[in-house]
């Protein structure tokens, strides 16, 4: 039977469930905005949304098209600046950061710069933007991306944003704040975390209809697989209705 939700709606629902009430989140364009808005309207009403262009604490009425859209300042606590937002991140005030990526490795390092050699790339992406700041300074980074062996890779073509670099203690050795780093990865196949001691990616849950074998086949590095793997819970009808109010045209979640 065809599910009543799209894969993007499932991702947004799972992502929203990770955001705790009375916390702050640095929100990126697209799916992270939907997830943050959804959390604020359901399980985390006191979630503080922070946008790169300077909107701090808004009650966003409908999905903005970018982090600089005027709707990201609607009923905001502050209409500030990129400088102030990045300063807040550096000062340790941002609990969560949302990122996407073209490539990720086992330690949560991200590439959003090039595919192929730097001098003659096959594909060139926009680069870091604020992603390096988010991945370096937010306490917990959540990554949302598609999963396949060319995106989940053993070695990145370019390191744009640091995860756990080459393993335990590496972030601290290069001067990044202790206790920060990748927290969760969400893909169309499942939910992932990072082993507390090894700092390598581990499977936490698969989505309905997805097997552990599907996950392994779509991963280009050795993934830690626990003895017990949970299954994520699909979004209930009330949550779907809320998401579709947030994105009425289906610009991100689709139909």
Give which of 166, 147, 27, 144 is closest to 89, Cα–Cα.
27
CA dihedral 152, 179, 141, 242 (to 10 degrees): 130
Look-up of token digits 């992406």? 125
Give which of 137, 129, 132 is closest to 53, Cα–Cα.
129
Collapsing DSSP to helix, strand or coil, 79 comes out as: strand
CA quadruple 23, 199, 185, 171: dihedral sign: positive
Catalytic residue among 4, 9, 52, 119: 52
Kindly report the three-state secondary structure assignment for every residue of 198-209: CCCEEEEEECCC
Whether 52 is a known active-site residue: answer yes
Q: Please list the active-site residues.
A: 52
């Amino acid at each position: 039977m065809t599910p009543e939700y799209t894969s993007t709606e499932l991702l947004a629902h799972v992502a929203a469930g990770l955001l705790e009430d009375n916390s702050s989140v640095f929100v990126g364009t697209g799916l992270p905005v939907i997830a943050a808005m959804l959390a604020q309207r359901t399980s985390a009403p006191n979630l503080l949304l922070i946008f790169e262009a300077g909107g701090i604490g808004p009650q966003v009425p409908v999905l903005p098209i970018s982090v600089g859209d005027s709707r990201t300042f609607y009923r905001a606590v502050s209409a500030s600046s990129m400088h102030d937002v990045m300063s807040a991140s550096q000062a340790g005030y941002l609990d969560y950061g949302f990122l996407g990526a073209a490539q990720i490795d086992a330690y949560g390092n991200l590439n959003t710069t090039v595919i192929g050699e730097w001098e003659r790339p096959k594909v060139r992406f926009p680069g870091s933007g604020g992603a390096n700041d988010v991945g370096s300074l937010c306490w917990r980074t959540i990554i949302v991306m598609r999963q396949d062996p060319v995106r989940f890779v053993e070695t990145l073509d370019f390191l744009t944003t640091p995860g756990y670099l080459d393993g335990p203690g590496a972030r601290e050795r290069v001067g990044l704040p202790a206790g920060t780093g990748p927290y969760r990865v969400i893909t169309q196949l499942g939910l992932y975390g990072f082993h507390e001691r090894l700092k390598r990616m581990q499977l936490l849950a698969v989505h309905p209809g997805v097997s552990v074998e599907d996950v392994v086949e779509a991963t280009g590095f050795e993934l830690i697989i626990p003895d017990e793997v949970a299954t994520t819970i699909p979004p209930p009808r009330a949550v779907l209705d809320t998401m579709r109010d947030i994105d009425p045209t289906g610009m991100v979640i689709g139909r």
